[in-house]
Chain A
Amino acid sequence: MKVLFRILGLIAAVLAVVLSVLPLSNLAFIPAIAALVFGLIAFLMAKQQQEPRKSIQLIFILTIIALSLATYKSIFNESEVGNTEELEKTEQKSEEEAIEELEELDLDDIDIE
Chain B
Amino acid sequence: MRNLIVALLVCSTNLLTAQNTAVSSNEKLVFTAAYNMSGIMTDLAEVTMETQSVKTSKATLLHLKCKATTYSKWDNFFKIRDLYESYVSPTTLKPYMYKRDINEGGYYKFMQYKFKHKSNTVESLKRKRRKDGKTWDENKNISIGPSTIDIITTIYQIRTLNLDGASAGKVFNFTVIFDNEEHKVSLIYKGKETISTAVGRKSCHKLAIAAQTEVIQGSNNNLLWLTADANKIPVYAKFKIPVGNGELKIKSASGLLN
Contacts and interface: CB of A to CB of B under 8 A. Distances in A.
Interface of A: 23-24, 26-27, 29-30, 77, 79-84, 86-87, 90-91, 94-95, 98-99, 101-103, 105-113
B83 A87 contact: yes
B141 interface: no
Residue of B56, B74, B91 most packed against chain A (CB within 10 A): B56
Contacts of B39: 30
Given A102-B61, A111-B92, A113-B60, A87 B99 contact: no
Contacts of B99: 94, 98
Contact of A24 (B42, B54, B75): B42
B101 A94 contact: yes
28 contacts: A26-B37, A26-B40, A27-B37, A27-B40, A77-B73, A80-B72, A81-B70, A81-B71, A81-B72, A82-B79, A87-B69, A90-B83, A91-B67, A94-B85, A94-B99, A95-B85, A99-B54, A102-B61, A102-B87, A102-B97, A103-B56, A103-B58, A106-B118, A107-B59, A107-B96, A110-B59, A110-B89, A112-B89
Interface of B: 32, 37-40, 42-43, 46, 54, 56-61, 63, 65, 67, 69-75, 77, 79, 81, 83, 85, 87, 89-92, 94, 96-97, 99, 101, 114, 116-118
B17 to A, nearest CB: 10
Contacts of A109: 117-118
Contact of A112 (B37, B81, B91, B114): B91
A106 B40 contact: no
Contacts of B43: 79
Contact of B32 (A26, A29, A30, A79): A79
Contact of A91 (B65, B77, B90, B116): B65
A7 to B, nearest CB: 22
A18 to B, nearest CB: 14
Given A23-B74, A79-B32, A94-B83, A111 B89 contact: yes
Contact of A82 (B42, B54, B60, B75): B75
